[in-house]
Amino acid sequence: MNNIEKKRFKLSIIVPLAFIIAMWTVYFFEYSLHLKFYKYGIYPRKLYGLPGIITAPFVHGDLKHLLSNTFPFLILSSGLFYFYKESAYKVFLLVWLVTGLWVWLAARSSYHIGASGMVYGFASFLFFAGLISKNRALAALSLLVVFIYGGMVWGLLPIKPGVSQESHIFGAITGLISALIFASKTRKVSYSEPNNYNFLNEFSEPKCSDTNFSSINYYLTEEKDEKKSE
């Protein structure tokens, strides 16, 4: 990896690391001060649940929940910023805000917390964008996402209690829509000049023209005593 690639890699992890540090900081204060932050999650169709669109990804039910989101979030969002640097910020914000908005509009009447909706959004974007762009290296990245995170598909099904499938589904849909918007603007690499073609360069530096697993996502039901349910 040359100096340019090293710099590019470092830049690609700044936003993901900052987001993860915020997630862990919130959990640290919640745990150490014996607080309950689940009310900062998304509570659908209630005005007091609307701010959760912004805050819900930073709130997690327990340490296992936080850990299950941390590494996939770091890997997938870093991939987003590395391979789609010109549209990464737009995709990141769309996945974050639009997924949360759809959860608020259409999900079950429970507190929805955690960042797994965003994780599903990033995975969905990377998969579909690689297919749509018709870039061989990015298509290979799509297959890699499927190979590593293919098990995430089970998170779309209502098979586990205490899991917000709505966040997963809406995140995946938002990722697909983002891919349709931004990946279609990716310039196709020409293979008619074999002397200039290098697969590794194509993989490390995809050309973009536009300034462009967690299966565990707890939801918490609101009860009269306002205690969380498991």
User: DSSP 3-state assignment of 155?
Assistant: helix
Q: How far apart are CA 163 and CA 176, in angstroms?
A: 22
User: Does residue 34 surpass a pLDDT of 60?
Assistant: yes
The larger pLDDT score, comparing residue 149 to residue 219, is at 149
User: Does residue 220 surpass a pLDDT of 70?
Assistant: no
Task: Report whether 129 contacts 179 (CB < 8 A).
Answer: yes
The larger pLDDT score, comparing residue 225 to residue 101, is at 101
What DSSP character marks residue 189? Answer: P
Which residue has 């039910």 as its token pair? Answer: 61
Looking at the whole model, is its pTM more than 0.75? yes
Task: Report whether 40 contacts 220 (CB < 8 A).
Answer: no
The larger pLDDT score, comparing residue 153 to residue 189, is at 153
Contacts of 206 (CB under 8 A, 6+ apart): 83, 84, 133, 135, 137, 138, 186
Q: Which pLDDT belongs to residue 184?
A: 67
How many angstroms from the chain centroid is the CA of residue 114?
11
Amino acid at residue number 189: V
| The CATH number, out of the four listed (3.40.220.10, 1.10.357.20, 3.10.20.600, 1.20.1540.10), of the domain defined by the range 3-220 | 1.20.1540.10
Q: Give CA separation, 1 vs 4, 170, 216, in Å.
A: 8, 36, 35
Using alpha carbons only, how large is the chain's radius of gyration in Å? 18
